[in-house]
Structure 1
Amino acid sequence: MSKRIRIIEGTWNCSSCDTKGIPARHKRCPKCNNPRELTDQESEFDFGETDAKTGRSLREGVTDTQTLELAQAGADWFCAYCGASNRGDQVLCKQCNAERTQDARALQEQALPGPRPRPAPPKGASKKSPLPRVLMVLGGGLFFCCFGTMIYGVWMTQTQDYPGQIVGTEWKRTLLQERFSPVTLQGWQDELSPQPPRMPVNGEGEAAGVQNIRDCVSSRRGSRQVANGTHRVCRTKTRRKACGTEEQCETRDKGNGFREEVCKDVTRYCDESYEDCRNETRYRDEPVYARRCSYDTYQWKEVARRETSGRDGEPPRWPELAVTPEDRLKREEQYTLHIEYGAPERKQAPLELKTEQEFLAWKKGQSVSVTATHGGDIKQILPR
């Protein structure tokens, strides 16, 4: 892969007589003879346009020996005494004959104590739109709204202790009577295994059983996919392939108004469309049938429900309900204290207890210390 090297010469503008496009080989203005100095206009070089695709400079490369030698002389330096530009291989300033000690550019950067001031906007530039400021205000408002909501949510879950009193007690108990009763169900014949039922004793030890399997009929149980031949399927795909070479160029600034351009030929890749064809199996849904049967078995069914409740000192009790040995009972119980707390504003809230023992430890009118959230949820009560 061969490389092609060119030297590209830049141009600068004289700030003294406003001459434009002075070749970099000239350290003095050809018109007014002033040396190139460390100013924004004179220290920057223009190298012209480059090809957007290859990066190659559109200027002609330097060919004469004298200019090529100048390009290889090293980066220019600016005299610390008179500010004139000099070749990189010179040790004395051509303007004032001073020795090369420290570059004027470095002295200038050291003289600036802080960050450089922001350059002024170009003439004719429109004033800054107020839209960013509006967006900042809206964004700040949204942030504080979300932050405030989060803080409020945290505050609502924080707890505080209050003096309080039990203003009421309440309880409710429920008995559910369930009976092991015969039922007729349906199931797939291959999943049914005949076995006798076993009746519960005191609500335990039962087995539902499967009896009297009958009335079996063919019924659709589902479907399955089966092969239904093959067919050829073609899909258009894209792949990358080498399709010749193309020139790619890179440049390196030599710091003296010249650039070294290195160009080389690299492989170029193109997108190629092609047909990817293959035989694929075609499938179809095939229904699956099985025999579905009726059978006799047993299930627990609710046959009765009794509730009783009380409040304010009435002792909890269970409702009366007569059961047979085949029946079973399910018990549900609920205990609630009604608390009034806070000063000077009084709040009321319920407190659910889990057991009868906890419930019987409290009485209506009893003074308590209440731990509650700012949102009104009671977390704990203690005697006071």
Structure 2
Amino acid sequence: MAKRTRLIEGTWNCTSCDTRNIPARHRNCPNCNNPREETGQESEFEFGEEQSVTDEKALSAAAAGADWFCDYCGASNRGDTPLCRHCRAERSSTSRALSAEPDPDAAPPPEPEFPRAPKSSRRWLYLVLLLPCFGGGLFSFWGSRTHGVTGQVVSTEWTRTVQRESFQRVSQTGWRDGLSTTAPRMPVNGQGERPGVENIRDCTRRQRGTRQVADGTERVCEDKTRRVQCGTEEKCTRQKLGNGYMKEVCDDVPKYCDESYEDCHTRTRYRTEPVYDVSCTYDTYAWTDMGPPARASGNDSAPRWPELRVGAVDRLRHEEKYLVRIEYQDGGVKRHELEPRNESEFLSWKKGQSVSLQVSNLGSVSNVTQGEAAR
């Protein structure tokens, strides 16, 4: 891949006679002899017709460095001349020069070290960055703060349910390899039972599941895309030299395109086969709900269980739920509900009893303390 370098000559426009597209090699307007100056944008070159420069005079001017402007007459001069070509004044340290762009072939300059901002500026920057976090943390802190309020128990409620279960003979099905005849044992006072397995019968062969079985191989292909080189392309970089000329460096670099292809491989092929086993019907015993449950409820302070008669092979399943409702003032009438875990906790709450609550600024109740009961 060959590297190609060429010089391109720009053009400028005379502001005295309005002559346009004057080649950069002319430092004076060929029409009115006005010297090219920095004022009037005369030294802002245009690179429209990009013809390569090959003659020695132009090459020498391009290699002279960035133009400088005389402090006395304002005329432009070659970068390698110490005296103004127009008024013969010497170039001084204050003479302005056209800026040249970095050479594309040169190594990149080191990163500049910028002075750190003053401490006061950094403090403001930190404050701006931390403000959202500080605001969120402040809101969370405010929301978690609690304050005490006084409330009152306005009602209590209890519900008790009793379900009668009986150890009854039932028919079930199971896989033959998991069944063995065992005698049942009846419960005594609702416990100590054993279901047992009896009268195994009606055994039939039926599907129990499936399994995967190897069945040869198969070729599997997947469409994919990859990047491949598909020739070369010209890539050019340009550098303005600050004197009406531009340096262009071009390289032939690899060009890459997307290519579709099939990614294929061989893998084991599987088929699904049914798995059969022997299923049988058998007799056993199981706890069975007998009828709907009996329910009792109330809002007094004397919870009681509904009564049910039980037989020798019966048992009772008990469930209970308690609720205490509290009202308090905190920017309006608010309510809070407690669910005591058992009867003794429930009985400690009385209607009309005063209550102390800890309430957060966001309205959640974190603690409830009983006060004196109403008389």
Same fold (TM over 0.5): yes
CA distance in 1, matches of 2:274, 2:218: 23
Equivalent residue number for residue 26 of structure 2: 26
CA distance in 1, matches of 2:325, 2:257: 81
User: Are residues 167 and 229 of structure 1, via their aligned partners in 2, closer, same or farther at CA, if it must alter by over 3 Å?
Assistant: closer
Instruction: Give the C-alpha shift of residue 61 in structure 1.
Output: 1.2
RMSD of aligned Cα (Å):
3.9
SS at match of 1:70: helix
Alignment of 1:6-17 (within 5 A): 6-17=6-17
Instruction: Give the C-alpha shift of residue 238 in structure 1.
Output: 5.5
Equivalent residue number for residue 310 of structure 1: 298
Match of 1:215 among 190, 202, 205: 202
CA distance in 2, matches of 1:75, 1:340: 87
Match of 2:93 among 69, 90, 101: 101
Match of 1:62 among 38, 53, 68: 53
Instruction: Give the C-alpha shift of residue 331 in structure 1.
Output: 2.8
Equivalent residue number for residue 44 of structure 1: 44
For 1:32, give the aligned amino acid: C
User: Are residues 169 and 93 of structure 1, via their aligned partners in 2, closer, same or farther at CA, if it must alter by over 3 Å?
Assistant: same
Deviation per residue, 1:103-151 (Å, 9 max, x gap): 5379xxxxxxxxxxxxxxxxxxxxxxxxxxxxxxxxxxxxxxxxxxxx9
Match of 2:160 among 165, 173, 181: 173
Match of 2:63 among 72, 80, 95: 72
User: Are residues 242 and 303 of structure 1, via their aligned partners in 2, closer, same or farther at CA, if it must alter by over 3 Å?
Assistant: same
SS at match of 2:16: coil
User: Are residues 169 and 24 of structure 1, via their aligned partners in 2, closer, same or farther at CA, if it must alter by over 3 Å?
Assistant: same
User: Are residues 341 and 217 of structure 1, via their aligned partners in 2, closer, same or farther at CA, if it must alter by over 3 Å?
Assistant: same
For 1:311, give the aligned amino acid: N
User: Are residues 81 and 190 of structure 1, via their aligned partners in 2, closer, same or farther at CA, if it must alter by over 3 Å?
Assistant: farther
Deviates more, 1:152-161 or 1:363-372: 152-161
Instruction: Give the C-alpha shift of residue 235 in structure 1.
Output: 6.6
Deviation per residue, 1:223-247 (Å, 9 max, x gap): 4455566666777665554454443
CA distance in 1, matches of 2:351, 2:342: 17
Equivalent residue number for residue 346 of structure 2: 359
Count of aligned positions: 330
Instruction: Give the C-alpha shift of residue 71 in structure 1.
Output: 1.0
Instruction: Give the C-alpha shift of residue 67 in structure 1.
Output: 0.8
CA distance in 1, matches of 2:94, 2:180: 104
User: Are residues 311 and 14 of structure 1, via their aligned partners in 2, closer, same or farther at CA, if it must alter by over 3 Å?
Assistant: same
Q: Which runs of 5+ in 2 are unaligned?
A: 99-137
Instruction: Give the C-alpha shift of residue 349 in structure 1.
Output: 4.7
Deviates more, 1:225-234 or 1:209-218: 225-234
Kept in 1, the 8 Å contact 2:156–2:299? The answer is: yes
Instruction: Give the C-alpha shift of residue 324 in structure 1.
Output: 5.3
For 1:46, give the aligned amino acid: E
CA distance in 2, matches of 1:292, 1:103: 107
CA distance in 1, matches of 2:225, 2:86: 65
Q: Taking structure 2 as the reference length, what is the TM-score of the superposition?
A: 0.71
Kept in 2, the 8 Å contact 1:349–1:376? The answer is: no
Deviation per residue, 1:69-91 (Å, 9 max, x gap): 11111222334554433322223
CA distance in 1, matches of 2:318, 2:241: 94
CA distance in 2, matches of 1:299, 1:80: 113
Deviation per residue, 1:310-347 (Å, 9 max, x gap): 324x3233333444565444332222223232278544
Kept in 2, the 8 Å contact 1:246–1:266? The answer is: yes
Kept in 1, the 8 Å contact 2:15–2:40? The answer is: no
User: Are residues 283 and 375 of structure 1, via their aligned partners in 2, closer, same or farther at CA, if it must alter by over 3 Å?
Assistant: same
Match of 1:267 among 248, 251, 254: 254
CA distance in 2, matches of 1:79, 1:204: 115
Q: Taking structure 1 as the reference length, what is the TM-score of the superposition?
A: 0.69
For 1:75, give the aligned amino acid: A
User: Are residues 46 and 322 of structure 1, via their aligned partners in 2, closer, same or farther at CA, if it must alter by over 3 Å?
Assistant: same
SS at match of 2:30: coil
Deviates more, 1:22-31 or 1:278-287: 278-287
The percent identity for this pair of structures is 55
Instruction: Give the C-alpha shift of residue 207 in structure 1.
Output: 4.3
User: Are residues 353 and 30 of structure 1, via their aligned partners in 2, closer, same or farther at CA, if it must alter by over 3 Å?
Assistant: farther
CA distance in 2, matches of 1:299, 1:265: 87
User: Are residues 161 and 233 of structure 1, via their aligned partners in 2, closer, same or farther at CA, if it must alter by over 3 Å?
Assistant: closer
Kept in 2, the 8 Å contact 1:6–1:61? The answer is: yes
Instruction: Give the C-alpha shift of residue 273 in structure 1.
Output: 5.6
